[in-house]
Every structure is written in C-alpha cells, then in structure tokens.
Amino acid sequence: MAGVDRQTCDGFDRQDPLARFRDEFVIPEGLIYLDGNSLGALPRATGPRLQRVIAEEWGSGLIRSWNAAHWIDAPRRVGDKIARLIGAQPGEVIVADSTSVDLFKLLAGALRLQSGRHFILTEAQNFPTDLYVAEGLVDLLGGRHALRVVDRAELVAAVDSSVAVLMLTHVDYGSGLIHDMAALTAAAHAHGALMLWDLSHSAGAVPVDLTGHQVDLAVGCGYKYLNGGPGAPAYAFIRRSLQDAVPSPLSGWMGHAAPFDFEGHYRPAPGIVRQLAGTPPILSLAALEVAVDLWLRVDQEEVRRKSMALGDLFIRLVDERCRGLGLEVASPRERQRRGSQVSLRHRDGYRVMRALIDRGVIGDFRTPDLMRFGLTPLYSRYVDVWDAVDALREVLASGAFERPEYGTRLAVT
C-alpha cells in the first residue's frame, strides 16, 4: 500500500465488491459515520416496511395480525435468520429483550444447571453491563454464588471445577481485541464449565461459528453492526442439547408451553422459546428483520476482508499523518486479532471526538481516554477513512479541540 493518498483510497472504493450496499443505507450527505459499532445506520428498506406494518398489519389487521401476519412467530423467525450469521442451527436463537436481560436469563439458567459450582468467571475488561448483571444475579441468589473477575491474562489459569460458567465478550468493546473463541471455549469445557459469549461486537463484524466451537450460550445486540435500530431487541443462543435443561428465571407467559391455555401454573415451552418472557415488540422486530434480511445477502468473508483492510488503512494513516500529535493506537495492529473498529488513545480524547463530530466525522468516546472509530464495511468507504484521519490531524494540529465547550460532557458519549 505504498504512497496512500485520497485518490488511491478512491481507487480502492471503485474496486470494492461491497460498495453497492452503501446505497441501501441512509447516510446523510457530507457525514462520515464511524459509529456503527454503537448504533448501526438505517437501512433504506426499514422505513417503508415499518409503514406497512403500522398501516396494514397494526392499523387494518389489528389483533388478527398475531396470526395472519405471523407476529407470534417473529422472535423465532428472526432468531433463525440471525443463527445463520453466527454459525448456529435453526431453533437455537431467539430474539427477545435487551442483551442485559438475556444475559441475566442465561446466566441464571447456567447456574441452575451447574449446581455445585459456585462461580461466574469473567475478565475485568468485560463490558460493564455484563459485570453488573452478573453482580446483581449473585446478589439475588444470596451468597450461594459469586462473581470472580480476573485480569485477561489470568483467564485460562482461573478456570477450574468451581466455575459454573465462563462469560466473556468476544470482541472487546474498548480496544476491539478478538478473543480466541476456540481456545477459551475449550478451556472452559476442559473443566466442565459452560461457555457464554457476548457477541454484541461480533455479529456483522467478524465471522462467528458457534456450532464449530461447541459454544453453549451466547447473547448479542441487534442495534450495532446488525443495524436493527436504536434499542433493537437482542438475541439469545442456547446450544440445542442444553435448551431443555436451561430454565428461564423470567417465567412469563410467552415462554409457557401453551400460553393460550391460560393454565394456573408455569410449564416451560420446549426448546429456545422458553427464553421468551413477555409480548414481543413487533415494530422493533420488524425493523430488525429488514436489516437481518439485508445481512443474509452479504458474503461474510468479504465483509471481514474489507473490515481488516479499512482497519489497516486507518492505523497506517494515523501512523503516517498524525505522528507527534499525542495519539496512541489502542487496538491490536495485527489484523487477525482486531474486530471492526480502531480505537485511539489521546489525553483529551473526549474533546477531540467532540471537535471531530462538529466536523461531520462521527465516532464515540469511552472513558478515560479512548476514541472509537467503527468500520462498517457495508457503508464505510476507504475515502471515509482518509477524510476521517485528515480531520483528526487538523483537529489535533490546530488545537481546535481545546475550545471550552468541548469540555462539557454530554449524557451519551
């Protein structure tokens, strides 16, 4: 990649086999959107589909649409589609609730299944909600279980026969580091522990093979790389052979074996359906399904190739063009170990990101000093990477980030 300039990047875009997908998204003119790892862009097909669901299925069909428009099947139907993106089998994935709630359900089920084992094991670098949910669960269980949080380097050594479940996020939300799914799942299994992966930064970003790695449990977000929309429902995976042994702690009617028999006692549905609790959010599910249908037309290997190339380009341009400006690359430089983001440290990272956003380059900030740039191969271009690093250089070299208003933290960073 000798002598990369903007024209070279433009050339990469012309040869990009995924370039045609950009038109399938709403990308505001002049905006460089590098935050699809936080909130994916809006597919063009979503608005018209939601309008039809609202006008025809809800407006005209009303309650009949639960049957006639197959609303009642949506959590399983969309789950089966997501299964194809994460190497799972039909009937192993259900769409429901948020990632946090799904984590709670699967962890609680795992602890019930693994009676006699006391620990949920995880790493200190895990996403905070994963830690908080596990903390809340062990607290609720009144001292019979505990959360053991170790440093990343100590994970494998910390797995032993007291561990009920090893819970990790596959792609680190901060640095983008990809965990070795095969090795860590095997390490958990070697000691009889279950393996639970949070795939929030994986699906739609890096290939995942849950069946191939014999993963037991997984959860993931619908609103990031999958483009399901703000607050889109999440998904939960349970390996088929475990499904009837993993109870849900939220024993709601939608997870009952016969919800419309209105029995007086809970009887769990067979399979993954028991992980449902309440009525599914049909409008949100419809939006997620549009995005997942788009994903099913995409070659995942092509996505991964472009994602690695965009990341390499980003890092190379930062090295070449931002030298001496106080940046440090926080993501793995080795492309195989890096998910679909590049994170940079800067002492004034929050201010720098605010100045970039004012210039139409949208990434985000994670405390204390991390700027994250998500690379979404379906709509990110090589010229976007060039322009983003160019803006970054200008913001740093000019000192524009030092303007006082950039020091005030907004509620969402």
Ligand X SMILES: Cc1ncc(COP(=O)(O)O)c(C=O)c1O
Catalog residues that contact ligand X under the rule CB under 6 A: 98-100, 127, 129-130, 169, 173, 198, 200-201, 221, 234
Q: Which listed residue (81, 117, 224, 381) is catalytic?
A: 224
Shortest Cβ 104–ligand X spacing (Å): 10
Q: Which listed residue (127, 173, 365, 379) is catalytic?
A: 127
Strand (E) positions, 129-277?
Answer: 146-150, 163-169, 194-198, 217-220, 235-238
Q: Which listed residue (35, 80, 172, 198) is catalytic?
A: 198
Q: Is 224 a catalytic residue?
A: yes
Shortest Cβ 281–ligand X spacing (Å): 13
Q: Is 333 a catalytic residue?
A: no
Q: Which listed residue (372, 379, 382, 401) is catalytic?
A: 372
Q: Is 160 a catalytic residue?
A: no
User: Which residues partner with 163 through β-bridges?
Assistant: 119
SS3 content of the chain, % helix, strand, coil (to 5): 45, 15, 40
8 A C-beta contact, residue 319 and residue 342: no
Shortest Cβ 120–ligand X spacing (Å): 15
User: Which residues partner with 120 through β-bridges?
Assistant: 147, 165
Number of other residues whose CB lies within 10 A of the CB of residue 87: 17
Structure tokens at 394: 């200008």
Q: Is 102 a catalytic residue?
A: no
Shortest Cβ 140–ligand X spacing (Å): 18
Shortest Cβ 155–ligand X spacing (Å): 16
Q: Which is nearer to ligand X, 184 or 309 (by Cβ)? A: 184
Instruction: Spell out the long-range contacts of 77-84 with Cβ–Cβ below 8 A and sequence spacing 24 or more.
Output: 77/289, 78/235, 78/285, 78/288, 78/289, 78/292, 79/235, 79/272, 81/289, 81/292, 81/293, 81/296, 82/203, 82/220, 82/226, 82/235, 82/292, 83/237, 84/296
Helix (H) or strand (E) holding 329: strand 328-329
Cis? peptide before 368, omega within 30° of 0: yes
Query: Rounded distance, CA 118 to CA 140, Å?
Result: 14
Q: Which is nearer to ligand X, 36 or 382 (by Cβ)? A: 36
Shortest Cβ 69–ligand X spacing (Å): 26
Q: Which is nearer to ligand X, 201 or 306 (by Cβ)? A: 201
Helix (H) or strand (E) holding 362: strand 361-362
Number of other residues whose CB lies within 10 A of the CB of residue 147: 18
8 A C-beta contact, residue 372 and residue 343: yes
Q: What is the Rg, in whole angstroms, of the alpha carbon atoms belonging to the chain?
A: 22
Q: Which is nearer to ligand X, 106 or 317 (by Cβ)? A: 106
Q: Is 314 a catalytic residue?
A: no
**Counting Cβ atoms within 10 Å, is residue 190 exposed (0-12), middle (13-18) or buried (19+)?**
exposed
Q: Which is nearer to ligand X, 21 or 280 (by Cβ)? A: 280
Q: Which is nearer to ligand X, 65 or 122 (by Cβ)? A: 122
Shortest Cβ 249–ligand X spacing (Å): 16
3-state DSSP call for residue 173?
coil
Q: Which is nearer to ligand X, 100 or 251 (by Cβ)? A: 100
Catalytic residues: 127, 198, 223-224, 372
